[in-house]
Amino acid sequence: MFSFSFLVYAFLGALLSGISLAVFAPFVTLRRISYLGEALSHIAFAGIALAILAGLNLTVTTLIFVMLIALGITLLAKKHNIQESNTITIFLSLSMALGIILISLSKNYSFDLASYLFGNVLLITRNEIIALAVLSVLNIAFVCFFYKELFYLTYNPVMAKVYRIKTDLVNLIFMLLLAANIVINVKSAGIILVTAQLILPAVIAFNLVHRLSKAIVISVLVAVFSAFIGFYFSFLLNLPTGACIVVFEAILYFLSLLFSV
């Protein structure tokens, strides 16, 4: 099965994509900002369009663009006491509109919307695998190191402030890392898989355990297991890998309801 190096890359891509996103998934789910993942992946659309029009490096331009928007969302919500959901919607609309304008200006380019939505893990490069591996390590280190701050930030940010828990810096790093994860993942995994990986492993985990630390571990295990099974069936039946992983995770979710604690 792994006789072709591009297949090894594809499998590693699916695996690392799952790990990197699943580490954050419990926090994203508990903070009820799962739409943020989808919003940032759509915001990436404007970054992609900008890179195409200006002839810049696609990944680097999109990464900088999305991280700046994530910074904008965090600062605007904090400075002007606006709900994060509203600032996300404002930036999402603006970015999509900008993306469409930029794509329409770039007349020589036909944008492949299907690959943007569903990704293509088979086209993943060695550099992208390295980026995903680095991100996975960074995510795990960040969550382990700032677990206490992340826990209380997720529980209640206002009371965290009353008890002088330094959540501002941690929230900023969280948002920037999340943005980086989405940009790196969206090309290979596509928006739909990125969104799914930010929700499904966590909700499956919370159906099985009531401790956040355990939920993070189970979320990662679910993502790893789904990558194996999804990749296997995608290879066996010649189906899109991302879609197979999402379908398998959805099945796991319904099964987990039967064992819900």
Partner 1 sequence: MIQIKDLQYKINGKIILEDIFLELAEGEFAAIIGPNGAGKSTLVKLILGLLELKEGSIFIDGVEHYSWLKNNTIGYLPQYEEFDNAFPATALDIVLMGLAGQLPLGTHFNKNHKQKAMEALEQTGVAHLAKELIGKLSGGEFQRVLLARALVSESKYLILDEPEASLDRPSVESFFALLKELNSKGKTIITISHDLTTLSKYCSFLVCLNRRLHCHNQMELIDADVIHKTFGDSLRIIEKDY
Rounded Cα distance between 115 and 210, Å, is 37
Binding site for partner 1 (CB under 8 A): 30, 32, 145-149, 151-152, 154-156, 158-166, 169-170, 206, 209-212, 215
CA 135 to chain centre: 11
6 CB-near residues (< 8 Å, 6+ apart): 122
The least distance separating partner 1 from the CB of residue 254, rounded to whole angstroms, comes to: 19
Choose among 69, 17, 72: nearest CA to 44. 69
Tokens of 26: 């419990």
Rounded CA-CA distance 146/140 in Å is: 10
Nearer to partner 1, 162 or 237 (CB): 162
Minimum separation from the CB atom of position 32 to partner 1 (A): 8
In the complex, minimum distance from the CB of residue 140 to partner 1, in angstroms, rounded to a whole number: 14
CB of 79 to partner 1, least distance (A): 11
Show Cβ contacts of residue 57 under 8 Å, excluding neighbours closer than 6 positions: 51
Helices in the chain by DSSP H: which ranges? 5-30, 34-54, 58-79, 84-105, 113-118, 126-145, 147-155, 157-162, 167-197, 200-208, 212-237, 241-258
CA distance 62 to 66: 6
Q: Of 107 and 210, which CB lies nearer to partner 1 in the complex structure?
A: 210
The nearest distance, CB 36 to partner 1, in angstroms, is 16
Task: Give the shortest CB-67-to-partner 1 separation in angstroms.
Answer: 22
8-state DSSP, 210: S
- Cβ pair 21, 181 in contact under 8 A: yes
Type and span of the H or E element at 33: none
Return the number of the residue (30 or 53) whose C-beta is nearest partner 1: 30
Closest distance to partner 1 from the beta carbon of 22 (Å)? 16
Give the nearer residue to partner 1 in terms of CB position, either 70 or 170. Answer: 170
Closer of 163 and 259 to partner 1 (Cβ): 163
Residues 6+ apart with CB under 8 A from 111: 49, 52, 103
